[in-house]
Structure 1
Amino acid sequence: MSKQTPNDRVLYLVMDGDFARKRGVASSNRNHFAIFGRRYTEVFEQVYIMCRVHDVEDERTLPVGGQGVDVIALPPVHGWRDLMRHGPDIVKAFCNIPRDAVVLLRVPGIYPILAWLMLAMRRQPYGVEAMADADAQFTPGAYQKRFRGFYRMVWTRMMKLQCRHAAASSYVTTNALQSQFPPRAGRPSFSYTTLDLPEQSLVRRSRPPASFQKPEIILINVAMMQKHLKGQDLIIRAVARLAQSGVRLKLWLVGDGDTRGEFERLAAELGVSDNVKFLGRVQAGAEVFALLDQADIFVLPSRQEGLPRVVIEAMARSLPCFASALPGNRELLDREFLVALDDEADWVLKLHDAIGKPEFLARASQANLAAARRFTVGRIQPIRNRFYETLSSFSLR
């Protein structure tokens, strides 16, 4: 960090992102500099991202750092054993954050929790970007390992405290996360999506009814495959039941992760390996949009979300969207496109009904494209900048 740069213009961003490396440099197929770091450098001269970086080389990724953005790699902790092993090094890294620096925690997550404990002990102001529902991460369907109840209690309690004691806060939702993890009364709070959606990413026209009158409908889901948070198992089972009833359809699953093998085995066991296509990791932006343009309906059977960016991206490509009836999804979609949480039968019912109604899907396409205009970066970035300016002012007090 340059000595000439005042600490109110230096940001330490603590997050739980899983980054790989490309030729030794921290990299990602989602949160690379072009779509992530620049949002902060509009206000801050220097940004240090403190996050999990794996010692895995991945040529498909792009660098996270860039002009004014550097990564402080933290050991890749997953579970208590890793935490016990690497805990001292992680705490040391957080102790090295200057006391007068601006600190922003993207919650929930283990690294933001550890950083928050350090900041609380030395009474250092910080801000939060509330990204998701900590409680929902550990519901029975989403997390199926031991100590689920304990993790759920700790994660939820920590996020409540982080939001309550933040000097300033932002939420990806308008009301949903705020109601469960409220900021302290009287402290500045903002609402904006973390998606960077350029105006040119929106298609010019919605889809006509004729585009849905085809022999085979393509469903698409874009999500990580970590644990069961995103519900890929649920939609695979629903597709199997739809196929058995004679509906001709394909399911494209975009993404990768630890549970991909489990989902592939599930598709084979249900006899729908030919119906379910695993596309693996796809670069955010143009590559994802190209797949969305080829599909007919976007599906998000998640068991946990904040305000899902992938739904907004699908809306921007004029796709009809169905998603779990989570609070954040209710801020994006009308009730008829919301599916009961963790309810395979409701997915079968709603998709079966929609596939036979081209006019209904065309109206959804038109409505979604119009709604997506609210989330373009030109409209969102000024709100972010006000939050960052507000947060930086606390380092001067």
Structure 2
Amino acid sequence: MVLLYLADSVYARCGDDVYGLRVFGKEFFEDYLKVFDSVVICAREEIVDRPPAGRPQVTSDRIRFIGIPNVHGWKWMMGINQQSRKTLEESLAIADAVVARVPSSLGEAGMYAARRVGKPFLGEVVGDPWDSISNYGSNPIYKLFALWYFYRFQRFVKGLDMASYVSRRVLERRYPAHADAATEEYSSIRLPGDFILSPRTYKNSPRPIAMLCLSSFLGYKRHVDLINACSVLKQRSIPFTLHLVGDGPTQSQIRKKVAYLGITEDVVFHGYIADPRLLLEKIDACHVTVVPSAQEGLPRSMLEGMARGLGAIGSDVGGIPDLTRDSESFATGDYERLADILTEVATDPGRLSEMSAHAIGISQNYTSRILSPRRVRMYTLLRDRVSRP
């Protein structure tokens, strides 16, 4: 049987080879392939001249890729174009069932197309469009569009017969499927057991405290709140070093903010780190991981840091509260509360030790041993709903 996988991710094509993002290599599709004979990926593509550094190859004898135009912005958010829709229907014709990471324009179009031809569909809810769009910028039009998309996505999920959530605590409550739908909670995170370390114990407060923010530079990631909180730490004479890993369109703006606040010597911009070993070294050299985002599903970067013993501090959106303790959570945009938390953590080694123990305990719930059976159960149910002659 053939599974069609849909997502708004952008894959890179170099000749006959196709490359996914760092965490979407062949291993990402292992659980799908435990149930289905092969997977067809239908997603946006960009043509490159050389294999992109740090991005894993995804195509194999059991994984095929069909690309659609790499359209961005309002044109993509309002719906896929004519050529993309035609490619989607051609992809659907060779598949027996469909799974899509949503919210996504391609995923939503895929659900309605699958329904027309009577093929089962599983929606994997991995994010909240309200949080991401409403916090993308200060222009009021974002709030209006977010409200429109919120109700549209609610209606979409309500129509699903099968749905999974990275967080029941937030996403399933806000976007419930209908009462008779089959639902499950799991994420795409696959932490190897040997990746998880033992909890760290601090006898003294680290000076400086090393903070990690591993995130793309996008408006809704709210780096600005973390920078403002760091400025407060500077005023309080709390020694710190902030490590920013990632790239994106708002990086230049954040650099200017750092310079304006006079904390250039305390903030390190590492850019995108393609080498997994080098990235792991940066993670292990820090004490806490901070995710100030206005929208997250279940932040992989936070969980990877927690698995290495880093204490976790994050905003109260999406799946972040599933990972952090209430005492290390703050309302989106409340950089003063974030500064207070960072001050307390930087000056209390006992609390930092407790945070590390909590982080290791939580990360153990996100290993393949725990999550793989949940995913396989849903994929098996999806396969069993395929109509047979």
TM-score, scaled to structure 2: 0.91
Instruction: Return the offset for 1:294.
Output: 0.5
1:110, distance to aligned residue in structure 2 (A): 2.2
Q: Measure the CA separation in 1 of the matches of 2:304 and 2:381.
A: 29
Cα pair 2:42 2:66 within 8 Å, conserved: yes
Match of 2:121 among 126, 130, 139: 126
Per-residue Cα deviation, 1:85-120 (whole angstroms, up to 9, x for no partner): 971110101111128621112101222233334334
Unaligned runs of 5+ in 1: 1-8
Q: Mark the CA change 1:100 to 1:297 in structure 2 (over 3 Å): closer, same or farther.
A: closer
CA drift of 1:19 comes to 2.7
- C-alpha distance 23-207 of structure 1, shift in aligned 2 (>3 A): farther
Offset of residue 275 of structure 1: 1.6
Instruction: Tell me if 1:299 matches 2:287.
Output: no
1:316 pairs, out of 284, 298, 307, with: 307
1:264 CA displacement? 1.8
Match 1:135 to one of 124, 130, 133: 130
Q: What is the distance in 2 between the residues matched to 1:328 and 1:334?
A: 12
Distance 2:363 2:157 in 1: 28
Corresponding position: 1:77 with 2:68: no
From 98, 106, 116, the counterpart of 1:103? 98
Post-superposition offset of 1:59: 3.0
Residue 199 of structure 2 is aligned with which of 206, 216, 225?
A: 206
Comparing 265-274 with 243-252, which one deviates more in the overlay? 265-274
Alignment of 1:375 with 2:370, yes or no, is no
Q: Deviations over 1:337-363 (max 9, x none)?
A: 111221111111111111000111011
3-state DSSP of counterpart to 2:386:
helix
Cα pair 2:167 2:322 within 8 Å, conserved: yes
Q: Any conservation in 2 of the 1:18–1:53 contact (CA below 8 Å)?
A: yes
For residues 304-353 of structure 1, the C-alpha deviation after alignment (integer angstroms, 9 at most, x for no partner) is: 11222222212111111100012522222221011122111111111111
Match of 2:208 in 1: 216
**Residues 67 and 290 (structure 1), Cα distance of their counterparts in 2 relative to 1, 3 Å cut:** farther
Contact 1:29 1:283 in 2 (8 A): no
The answer to whether the 8 Å contact 1:216/1:250 transfers is yes
Match of 2:62 among 57, 68, 76: 68
**Alignment check: 8 A CA contact 1:21 1:27 kept:** yes
- Deviation, structure 1 residue 47: 0.7
Which residue identity is paired with 2:110? A
SS, match of residue 190 in structure 2: coil
The residue identity in structure 2 corresponding to 1:25 is D
Determine if contact 1:221/1:300 at 8 Å carries over to the other structure.
yes
> Whole-Å Cα distance in 1 between the matches of residues 226 and 48 of structure 2?
30
Counterpart contact for 1:253–1:278, Cα < 8 Å: yes
In structure 2, the CA distance between the partners of 1:245 and 1:181, relative to structure 1 (3 Å rule), is same
CA contact (8 A) 1:134 1:156 kept: yes
3-state SS of paired residue (1:361): helix
Whether 2:9 is the aligned partner of 1:14: answer no
In structure 1, what is the Cα distance between the partners aligned to 2:318 and 2:56? 32
Amino acid at match of 2:258: A
SS in structure 2 of the partner of residue 53 of structure 1: strand
Q: Which moved more, 1:278-287 or 1:334-343?
A: 278-287
Amino acid at match of 1:364: M
Q: What are the superposed Cα offsets for residues 32-86 of structure 1, whole Å, 9 maximum, x if unpaired?
A: 4244122321211111111122234533322132341122112111123568997
Q: Tell whether 2:263 aligns with 1:272.
A: yes
> Which residue number in structure 2 is paired with residue 231 of structure 1?
222
The size of the alignment, in residue pairs, is: 385
Per-residue deviation, residues 8-41 of structure 1 (Å, max 9, x unmatched): x211111011333456633234234244122321
Partners of 1:391 and 1:143 in 2: CA distance: 38
Structure 2 gaps of 5+ residues are none
Q: Specify the SS of the correspondent of 2:296.
A: coil
| Structure-1 residue corresponding to 2:84 | 90
Residue 2 of structure 2 aligns with an amino acid whose one-letter code is V
CA–CA distance in 2 between the matches of 1:323 and 1:108? 22
Q: Does 1:44 align with 2:36?
A: yes
Report the CA distance between 1:125 and its aligned residue.
3.1
**TM superposition outliers: structure 1 runs of 4+ over 6 Å:** 82-86
Instruction: Go from structure 1 to structure 2 and tell me whether the alpha carbon gap of 1:62 and 1:395 turns closer, same or farther (over 3 Å shift).
Output: same
Structure 2 partner of 1:331: 322
Contact 1:159 1:181 in 2 (8 A): yes
Kindly provide the amino acid, as one letter, of the partner of residue 30 in structure 2.
R
The answer to whether the 8 A contact 1:142-1:304 is kept is: no
After superposition, the CA RMSD in angstroms is 2.3
Deviation of residue 147 (structure 1)? 3.4
Q: 1:25 to 1:144 in 2, by over 3 A?
A: farther
TM-score if structure 1 supplies the norm length?
A: 0.90
Mapped partners of 2:122, 2:79: distance in 1: 28
Instruction: Report SS of the residue matched to 1:209.
Output: coil
C-alpha distance in 1 between matches for 2:131 and 2:176: 16
Deviations 1:267-303 (CA, angstroms, capped at 9, x unpaired): 2222222222111222485443322111011100010
Tell me, yes or no, if the aligned pair for 1:256 and 1:280 is still in contact at 8 Å.
Answer: yes
